[in-house]
Amino acid sequence: MGRVAIVTDSASDLTAGVAVARGVRIVPLYVRFGEAEFRAGVDLTTDEFWTRMVEPDAPFPTTAAASPGDFKAAFEAELEGGAEAIVCVTVGGKLSATVKSAELAAQDLPAAEIHVVDSDSASMGVGILTLLAAEMADAEVPAAEIAAEVRARVRDVDLYVALDTLEYLRKGGRVSPARAAIG
């Protein structure tokens, strides 16, 4: 049995060090501040994001999913690097179009065994499932079994978020001004 590669997106909040240590490839999502576009974790660190975010008169950031081409390039690099199969764990499809990009990329490589798993989560909810997949891959579990186990464990992940302020949710249109004032 050959190596199973594990791929995720930068919404997993895995650090580059953890990803390298666990053999996980991270496909960056995009962050835009006005006209400036960055690849999360590549052109823009988390610390740089927060520095820009709190700058006076800074444009409100927007995010965009990685493209199918971004995922295809990552998948091809893993296959060229000796992977015989790939399991890709993405940020939740209710939150982002990222899973659709990964699925389109997988469809564009029909000869390859690629399993795309919607984590139905964000942040370390994605990261935990990705680390589970990496642990199973290290134990030489077949890709289909890894994907099935990760899908089964999606319901075990509960993500809780506590916010200091609702200001940024209001600015991003996720919360109405009235609800932000009440909150």
pLDDT-based confidence at residue 35 (cuts at 50, 70, 90): confident
* Res. 149: pLDDT tops 90: yes
pLDDT value of position 88: 98
Cα gap 177→65, rounded to integer Å: 27
Pull the structure tokens for residue 62.
């927007």
Q: DSSP secondary-structure letter at 175?
A: S
* Res. 168: pLDDT tops 60: no
Look up residue 180 and give its amino acid.
Answer: A
pLDDT-based confidence at residue 22 (cuts at 50, 70, 90): very high
For the stretch 52-104, pLDDT in tens is 878 888 888 888 899 999 999 999 999 999 999 999 999 988 888 899 999 99
pLDDT-based confidence at residue 161 (cuts at 50, 70, 90): low
What's the predicted TM-score (pTM) here?
0.84
**What's the chain's average pLDDT?**
88
pLDDT-based confidence at residue 182 (cuts at 50, 70, 90): low
pLDDT value of position 2: 79
For the stretch 116-134, pLDDT in tens is 999 989 888 999 999 999 9
pLDDT value of position 180: 59
* Res. 181: pLDDT tops 70: no
Across the range 155-164, mean pLDDT stands at: 72
pLDDT value of position 102: 97
Pick the more confident residue, 1 or 9. Answer: 9
Nearest one of 143, 168, 135 to 63, comparing CA atoms: 168
Handedness of CA 98, 104, 109, 110 (dihedral sign): positive
Contact assessment for residue 88 and residue 58, using Cβ atoms and an 8 Å cutoff: no
pLDDT value of position 84: 97
Give me the helix-helix angle, 124-138 and 143-153, nearest 10°: 150
DSSP, collapsed to helix, strand or coil, labels residue 101 as: helix
Instruction: Count the Cβ atoms, other than its own, within 10 Å of residue 142.
Output: 17
